[in-house]
Amino acid sequence: MLSQDYIQLEEKFGAHNYHPLDVVIDRAEGVWVYDVEGKKYLDCLAAYSAVNQGHCHPKIIKVLKEQAEKVTLTSRAFRNNQLPLLCKELCELTGYETVLPMNSGAEAVETALKAARKWGYKTKGVKDNAAEIIACTNNFAGRTITVISFSTEDQYRDGFGPFTPGFKIIPYGDAKELEKAITKNTVAFIVEPVQGEGGVVVPPEGYLKETYEICKKNNVLFIADEIQSGLGRTGKLFAYEYEGIKPDMVIIGKALSGGCYPVSAVLSMKEVLGVFKPGDHGSTFGGNPLGAAVARESIKVLVEENLIENSFKLGEYFRERLREVQSPHVKEVRGKGLFIGVELKPEAKGARRFCEALMQKGVLCKETHENVIRFAPPLVIKKEEIDWAMERVEEVLRME
């Protein structure tokens, strides 16, 4: 079958909740993917940061196969020999005391929100059913009913009400707005240290530290959503490290399994996640031995192969190369590490056509917020591969 055959099948039988580029990927390795006709592409999206370790990393695949032949699922009704080790290794790596594993990023966000509310009622003393959680404009934390309830993207909300109450929205990047929004019922502030879907938006320097201190002063939990920005993507293990803070809760996912299996988690000190008692929260697949084994190896690969340092160094190089492009369309190049957004001017007529043109030249990336091209290749990328991509990016950014 050819690419067009697969596209027609998907269009006929699949729900139309995505608008993908028309490339049909058959196999992948490292930073490269191949379509069903055998054409080679450089992946500059990394499955929205899920394959930071590169596609089909041999060490992760080896562990995946070995564990799959032993036991894949026990449910949390029983214990397994992989989850305790994952919890220990994550805590040792991050400096937190407790891990609650889930599957998708949205599930982990829901977990953090539930923990924050229960902490508010049981520890802070907020009146029952009065808890408020503050979020920011242009946030993206998933697609569940509760998560879209604090989204400011009209499309994510259209047709899905009524919405979950208990959320306040403030402008991203303005610490004073957080201070004004806090009340006696505020239990948490959830924020992306770098907004991914919002257009790879980096807040003003000092913003995270100032909002963290405001939260501390008001006995409000600071929740960092590092699902996209964490695990090396921004050139640090976590993006919040740039400002020397330690959030009360950190939400991770995507690259936690190297793109090989859905694994997510919430990290915190025992005071926060300790509010959960048996039966309060759970997941049949959360913490399963297959996912835990894969996550353990994925973390090991990030650290042992110096992928975080590579992200920092090559991210600076990639951004500098992008800033050197003489293009009438580019408004701004921004980002941290290998998490890069190229914002186009309104008259450029949207980022989609540039992504389609890049695909034709063998570079895969995706538009976000209509006018931004996101570049976020696997962290295993090499300088010469960036140079290869930039030859094509320069051509496309100069087109009419």
Quote the tokens at residue 224: 């960092």
Which residue do the tokens 């929740």 mark? 223
Distance from C-alpha of 5 to C-alpha of 19, rounded to nearest angstrom: 17
pLDDT digits (tens, 9 = 90+) for 98-115: 999 999 999 999 999 999
User: What is the per-residue pLDDT for 162?
Assistant: 98
User: What is the per-residue pLDDT for 348?
Assistant: 96
Instruction: Please provide the average confidence, as pLDDT, over all residues in the chain.
Output: 98
Nearest to 186 by CA among 116, 271, 268: 116
Q: Please give the share of the chain, as a percent, with pLDDT higher than 70.
A: 100
Q: Catalytic residue among 236, 254, 336, 366, which?
A: 254
Distance from C-alpha of 59 to C-alpha of 38, rounded to nearest angstrom: 25
Distance from C-alpha of 267 to C-alpha of 87, rounded to nearest angstrom: 9
Confidence of residue 268 (pLDDT cuts 50, 70, 90): very high
CB-CB neighbours of 79 under 10 Å? 11
User: Is 35 a catalytic site residue?
Assistant: no
The pTM (predicted TM-score) of the whole model is: 0.97
User: What is the per-residue pLDDT for 400?
Assistant: 85
Which residues is 128 bridged to in the sheet?
Answer: none
Strands 372-375, 132-136: pairing is unpaired
Quote the tokens at residue 100: 């609650």
The arithmetic mean of pLDDT across residues 54-76, rounded, is 98
**CB contact at 8 A, 83 and 71:** no
pLDDT digits (tens, 9 = 90+) for 67-98: 999 999 999 999 999 999 999 999 999 999 99
CB-CB neighbours of 21 under 10 Å? 17
Distance from C-alpha of 243 to C-alpha of 39, rounded to nearest angstrom: 42
Q: How far is CA 377 from the centre of its chain?
A: 13
Give the CA distances from residue 385 to residues 35, 203, 278, 394, in Å, rounded to whole numbers and listed in that order.
19, 29, 49, 14
pLDDT digits (tens, 9 = 90+) for 226-246: 999 999 999 999 999 999 999
State the DSSP H helix or E strand holding residue 307, giving kind and residue range, or none if neither. helix 307-324
Quote the tokens at residue 344: 């186009």
State the DSSP H helix or E strand holding residue 297, giving kind and residue range, or none if neither. helix 289-304
In this structure, what are the phi and psi dihedrals at residue 86, rounded to the nearest 5 degrees? Answer: -60, -45
User: DSSP secondary-structure letter at 127?
Assistant: P
For the chain, domains (ranges, CATH) are 3-56+307-397 (3.90.1150.10), 59-304 (3.40.640.10)
Collapsing DSSP states into helix, strand and coil, what is residue 90? helix
Quote the tokens at residue 304: 């042992």
Distance from C-alpha of 213 to C-alpha of 286, rounded to nearest angstrom: 33
**CB contact at 8 A, 314 and 381:** yes
User: What is the per-residue pLDDT for 355?
Assistant: 98
Q: Is 259 exposed, middle or buried (CB count within 10 Å of its CB: 0-12, 13-18, 19+)?
A: buried
How would you list the strands of the sheet with 25-29, edge to edge? 25-29, 32-35, 40-43, 363-364
User: Is 254 a catalytic site residue?
Assistant: yes
pLDDT above 90: residue 313? yes
Q: Please give the share of the chain, as a percent, with pLDDT higher than 90.
A: 100
Distance from C-alpha of 194 to C-alpha of 46, rounded to nearest angstrom: 17
The arithmetic mean of pLDDT across residues 249-276, rounded, is 98
User: DSSP secondary-structure letter at 378?
Assistant: -
Q: Catalytic residue among 35, 43, 225, 248, which?
A: 225
Cα-Cα-Cα-Cα dihedral sign, residues 193, 197, 200, 204:
negative
**CB contact at 8 A, 171 and 137:** yes
User: Is 127 a catalytic site residue?
Assistant: no
Q: Catalytic residue among 43, 140, 189, 238, which?
A: 140
- How far is it between the farthest Cα atoms of the chain? 61
